[in-house]
Amino acid sequence: MAAGFFISKGVGIAGIVLGLGAVATIIALSVVYAQEKNKTANAGTDDTTTAAPATTAAPNNPWNRWRLPATLAPEIYEVTLQPFLTPNADGMYIFKGNSSVTFVCVEATNLILIHSKKLNYTMQGSSHISLQAVDGSSVPSISKTWLETPTQYLVVQLDGPLQKGQRYRLFSIFTGELADDLAGFYRSEYENEAGTKKVVATTQMQAADARKAFPCFDEPAMKANFTVTLIHPSDHEALSNMPAKSSRVQEMDGKMWNVTEFETTPRMSTYLLAFIVSEFRFVQNTSGNVLIRIWGRPEAIAQNQGTYALQVTGPILNFFERHYNTPYPLPKSDQVGLPDFNAGAMENWGLVTYRENSLLFDNSYSSIGNKERVVTVIGHELAHQWFGNLVTLRWWNDLWLNEGFASYVEYLGADSAEPSWNIKDLMVLNEVHTVMATDALSTSHPLTFREEEINTPAQISEVFDSIAYSKGASVLRMLSDFLSEDVFKEGLQSYLHTFAYNNTIYTDLWVHLQEAVRKNNVSLPSTISNIMDRWTLQMGFPVVTVNTLTGTINQSHFLLDPTSKVERPSVFNYTWIVPIAWKTRDKAVSNYWLTNVTETTDLFKVSSPDWLLLNLNVSGYFRVNYNQENWDQLLRQLSTDRQAIPVINRAQIIDDAFNLARAKHVTVTLALNTTRFLSQETEYMPWQAALNNLQYFQLMFDRSEVFGVMKKYIQKQVMPLFAHYKNITNNWATIPSSLMDQYNEINAISTACSYGIAECQELATNYSRLWQQNPANNPIPPNLRSAIYCSMVATGGVDTWDFIWARFKEAAVVSEADRLRTALTCSTQSWILNRYLQYTLDPTKIRKQDATSTINSIASNVVGQPLAWDFIRSNWKTLFSQYGGGSFSFSRLILAVTQRFSTEFELQQLEQFKADNQDVGFGTGTRALEQALERTRANINWVRENQQTVLDWFDGETRTG
């Protein structure tokens, strides 16, 4: 699954500093009739009864445990579902269905536990289900069935034991709500061009919601085959994981319905099952023998918004077939853009679902950031079709390997489709540097959890975090780098071939990589397992410190707050086996393994004017610190001939220095000194690293006097960049050719406008005037829209806000709607922002899937932050009940509204918020709340110690400038 948020490069690329006091940083923070052969049961005719009351039993009963017993193993499901796309007499949308599951008894037992959530069953006699032996022999009679709601089981107690090795079939008839909760079998809604509401029935099973669609053994290791039948209106299309096998028309309750049966799936996990009933349209082509279709709202497809996704899907599929040395396992690849979708995308096997902005692209409206989003998310989801779907992790404690791997190779897949972009370099900014901010907290966690730590659906949801995705990607990239990509691929291919259609634990991959190491005679300081355990079983990462005068190199656990207490023990005592690629001014790249806490080597002795640079291209997951003499030489090199240092490492020097300063390894003055060369720099990556880090200064100081002189300094540094892009684009008339240049042009405009450079604000005002004179003709280039829209809203009044709101409500392209929705958070007027916060509780104004990211963006605005905090506190119960503790959004919501906290008073408020809501809980935000408390304490200390120094530095730079 792709993460549900993304930081649009058009909206401000991960931390574009939109200052000017009130103008905030914009962060677009981010079954049918499983027909029994001998039955003609009709889902449209059975009366449904509610369940028998749940029994209260002692906690040590099997049905009080979250994990299924290993006594039964499913083999094949036949699932028939009929969604009703108009409300019933009670105003409720429902679906009806029946399901049979054939399972084998692995150990004799008189108990059947099968997952079921929010389903009402049609009683068969006095039981929720019927049971028969596949070979026709007798079965034990059912003594009792009930729904155990807390642990989400349908419980079947038998009078005698099922026999080991025997196969049985369990059949049920049920009804469920087709709710708009974005989970299980749910409904999504949109209006067509005529203003008519349309309803889509669609699914999101991961992690534990297949049980909301039909009763099933809903754990990833319980793989089975699935035959799905969908009963749907004749003017609607039905889709599932496999191609349709047959379709017939049938009359039910006086209405004509299509009954579409799909081919049986390969052996797969329940969380990858999908089905959709809609009036969507598609564009298609083929790649080899694989049918590729891109589906979306008819208007979107008619406007060619599926064309780019179609163009890149074939090449990406071909790339992964070569990368894995395994053909794509299914006959078709459907990809569907949904109006309502909680995550970014979901890798359902053969039927991938997406937020519209992650699949659909419109050349007239969408920015280069939207285009990159589409190709990388497609890369992520298609990578899973093998890694995750064909071979699946046994349990969610190892989720990091599934999502981390896809988050790494999505860049390789995207690079194969867009080779001119150099997109692989962006991993350093998007994944490595981003996740290090979280992983440097004492409240972080290891990549791998013990299996017994992850049990409940809420615990499973909490595992889907930036550590799993971005740290997972970062350490796998490091592993591939020190093995070489070819050796990594060889081990990977062996792993996939060995475990196809089965389940694994993460160490299985290490075994296959180790064999590839042996075959290729790769020299390593230890086994892959020994090296990688240090990166996966303990949280955090090291800072590697080298002294070029003595050649001494050492490592220590890097913590942003050096006074914080690490309570999680590590058997490795927070030491790592560290692969270091290095060079000096005159020597080519070499490799060194740091295997102890401290070592000394003549390799790292250099003297002025030479310099040493560690972690070339940031291939390793660690930070680097130097002695003052080497820092001075690197800064001198940057100011005289920056090209001698690779562009990724120019970004690294900035990012490492700022983070080292926050952790008190170096002075804040040294960190600020790394930004001096930017007045000559035109490359995206160093600029982005600086803006990301200066954003922290903005958050800490945009309510204090420091911000006045900081604003002057940033104006001074960005003016040459603004002039450079004005020049090479012929006064903003043309688009730079490369991806990185397009991103840095956005940086130039965003930073210049938000830091009050008059020429930029005049540009925005002129665009605003032209557009408001002729709303049907938007004159602003798509790449620049986020920055210009924000400036328009920030410097305009309520009339401008209302104009942008009107454009948002009528936007036909979701990426354009996203930009407009986010720009509306740039207002400097409290009452407007308060009104907008209220809109987030009204799904007719702001879609549920967008509510939390809208609140996050308001919180990023210095004026909006206290309003958002008050709003969250007063509405926490509502938000929590409306979106559920399992929503991925809660952790980001808590981090966004607290990111400016840097006073004792704010810390007290946060602690009070925690105390006041213990009864409600925090769901997936539980760990984020602890991290927010830790960050706030660190911020308090940092501001106290650094405010005067920072003020003096900015003052000195602007007076001498």
What own/partner pairs with CB < 8 Å and gap ≥ 24 does 187-194 have? Answer: 187/83, 187/85, 187/93, 188/338, 188/339, 188/340, 188/341, 189/339, 189/340, 190/297, 190/339, 192/297, 192/298, 192/299, 193/299, 193/812
3-state secondary structure of 818: helix
User: How many other CB atoms are there within 10 angstroms of residue 196's CB atom?
Assistant: 8
Residues present in the chain in total: 961
Task: Determine the Cα–Cα distance for residues 431 and 407; give it in Å rounded to an integer.
Answer: 8
Task: Determine the Cα–Cα distance for residues 13 and 341; give it in Å rounded to an integer.
Answer: 22
3-state secondary structure of 275: strand
With beta carbons less than 8 A apart as the criterion, state whether 800 and 791 touch: no
Between the CA of residue 733 and those of 159, 736, 762, 775, what are the distances in Å?
A: 79, 10, 16, 20
- Residue 626, sorted as left (phi over 0), alpha (psi -120 to 50) or beta, turns out to be beta
Cα–Cα nearest to 17, from 702, 568, 766 = 702
DSSP string, 732-771: TTS--SSHHHHHHHHHHHHHHHHTT-HHHHHHHHHHHHHH
DSSP string, 586-648: SS--EEEEE-SSEEE-GGG---TT--EEESGGG-SSSEEEE-HHHHHHHHHHHHHHGGGS-HH
Angle at alpha carbon of residue 529, lines to 524 and 534, rounded to 5°:
95
Rounded to 5 degrees, φ, ψ at 935 are -60, -40
Tokens of 292: 């590729």
Tokens of 134: 């596949």
DSSP string, 119-143: EEE--BTTBSEEEEETTS---PPEE
Cα–Cα nearest to 892, from 861, 931, 864 = 931
Active site residues: 381
Residue carrying structure tokens 């959530």? 117
Task: Determine the Cα–Cα distance for residues 303 and 245; give it in Å rounded to an integer.
Answer: 30
3-state secondary structure of 868: helix
387 DSSP β-pair partners:
391
3-state secondary structure of 13: coil
> Where are any strands of DSSP class E within 192-254?
197-204, 225-233, 237-240, 244-252
Beta strand 332-338 with 290-296 is: parallel
Tokens of 90: 């009670």
With beta carbons less than 8 A apart as the criterion, state whether 625 and 612 touch: no
